[in-house]
Structure formats: C-alpha cells, structure tokens
C-alpha cells in the first residue's frame, strides 16, 4: 500500500484545473502534517491554504514550474493547480526545521495521492511577493515551501537513471519521465571495522 502510494506520488505540474478543491480537503491534508514527526516535537511549522480560483490565479505566477523543461514546463490555462498549501516556519531553537518541512510535505502529498490527487513541492517561490497574496503580516513566519495540488492531467513514468548521467526529467506528449537511480547506486556497501 505505502509502496504503491510512494510510486504514484510523482511531482505533478499539470492539473484538471476545473476540478476544484475545498478548504475542508486542504484541512484534511494539513491534519496529516499535524501528526507528522517534528524535531523535539517543536511543531514550529504553520500552513496557509489557498483554494479559491481568484487567489490561486495570484499565487500561480509566483512559482517556477519545472525549470529543466524551459517554457514547456509551464502549465497552460486550464491545467494550473487547483489549490496551494504554503508551508511557513522560523526557528530559533532548532536546526531541523527544514527536515520538519520536508516530512510535512511528504505526509500531505501521500495523503493527496491516496485520494487521487497529486501535487508538487515548490522551493522556487517569490517568497516576498507571495506574502501579501497570502495575507501574511510581518509577525507571520517566512514561507519555506509551497505545495501545488489538484487532480492530475499528465502521466508519469519512472525511468532508470544512471549515476554518471543526467538527473533531468523530460516530457513526451502528456507523459512526464523522471529518472531515479538504482538501489545499488544509493546503498553504499562498505565494510565496517
């Protein structure tokens, strides 16, 4: 079950934009992040939810989609994300905030995949420009990542990647190909003393 979900949980950037998500849908996903591991259980992440079309339209241009594909990576109108979850956080007490953020994102994305949704984590976000769009005040923490979500409008194939080769993903028609290294490439077989 988890294997199937992880394999299905590809970064999706083209969506059936007309199939909208509700605030309740997004709250259900953030609830999974709420119950996810956190360094020292500090729980310093905060989340902003965007689901209304008008606000989605303002968030969309503030993120860089699939830069490895050039202009082809940019979803067309009608294929843009149906919702966003911004992950915010600032910590004075711990160095593991980004680990917490990654885990929270994965919980959200796996929960989405279970429901037939897909999403994509965005690190390339215009972090200052997105703040007023989200209605954030100076007292609110910085935006770390943004997750785009929706019902997928593209297909995915995991390809065998080569250790020495390119890690770039590519597209053929409506299929997004993503190379992954072999287990034998990533598991280091070393002999301990």
Ligand X SMILES: Cc1cc2nc3c(=O)[nH]c(=O)nc-3n(C[C@H](O)[C@H](O)[C@H](O)COP(=O)(O)O)c2cc1C
Q: Which of 45, 48, 62, 120 binds ligand X (CB under 6 A)?
A: 120
- Residue 122 within binding range of ligand X, rule CB under 6 A: yes
The nearer residue to ligand X, 65 or 151, going by C-beta atoms, is 65
The residue count for binding ligand X (CB under 6 A) is 13
The nearer residue to ligand X, 23 or 142, going by C-beta atoms, is 142
The nearer residue to ligand X, 27 or 163, going by C-beta atoms, is 163
Q: Which of 5, 8, 11, 46 binds ligand X (CB under 6 A)?
A: 11
SS3 sequence of the chain:
CHHHHHHHCCECCCECCCCCCCHHHHHHHHHHHHCCCCHHHCCCEEEEEECCHHHHHHHHHHECCCHHHHHHHCCCCCCCCCEEEEEEECCCCCCCHHHHHHHHHHHHHHHHHHCCCEEEEECCECHHHHHHHHCCCCCCCCEEEEEEEECECCEEEEEECCCCCCCCCEEECCEEEEEECCHHHHCCCCCCC
Q: Which of 16, 18, 115, 124 binds ligand X (CB under 6 A)?
A: 124
**CB hemisphere CA count around 65 (13 angstroms):** 19
- Residue 66 within binding range of ligand X, rule CB under 6 A: yes
Q: Which of 32, 42, 121, 136 binds ligand X (CB under 6 A)?
A: 121
Stretch that binds ligand X, among 15-23, 41-49, 82-90, 122-130 (CB under 6 A): 122-130
- Residue 169 within binding range of ligand X, rule CB under 6 A: yes
Stretch that binds ligand X, among 6-14, 21-29, 50-58, 129-137 (CB under 6 A): 6-14
d(CA 135, CA 94): 27
Residues at the site binding ligand X, with contacts judged by CB under 6 A: 10-11, 13, 64-66, 120-124, 169, 178
């Amino acid at each position: 079950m988890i294997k199937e979900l992880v394999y299905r949980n590809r970064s999706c950037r083209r969506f059936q934009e007309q199939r909208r998500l509700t605030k309740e849908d997004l709250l259900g996903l953030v609830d999974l992040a709420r119950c996810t591991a956190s360094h020292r259980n500090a729980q310093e992440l905060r989340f902003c939810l965007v689901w209304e079309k008008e606000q989605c339209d303002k968030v969309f241009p503030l993120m860089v989609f699939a830069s490895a594909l050039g202009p082809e990576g940019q979803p067309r109108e009608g294929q843009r994300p149906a919702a966003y979850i911004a992950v915010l956080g600032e910590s004075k007490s711990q160095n593991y905030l980004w680990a917490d953020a990654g885990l929270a994102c994965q919980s959200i994305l796996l929960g989405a995949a279970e429901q037939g949704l897909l999403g994509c984590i965005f690190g390339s976000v215009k972090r200052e420009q997105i703040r007023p769009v989200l209605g954030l005040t100076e007292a609110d923490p910085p935006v770390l990542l943004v997750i785009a979500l929706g019902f997928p409008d593209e297909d995915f194939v995991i390809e065998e990647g080569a250790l020495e080769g390119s890690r770039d993903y590519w597209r053929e028609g409506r299929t997004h190909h993503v190379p992954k290294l072999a287990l034998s490439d990533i598991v280091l077989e070393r002999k301990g003393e």
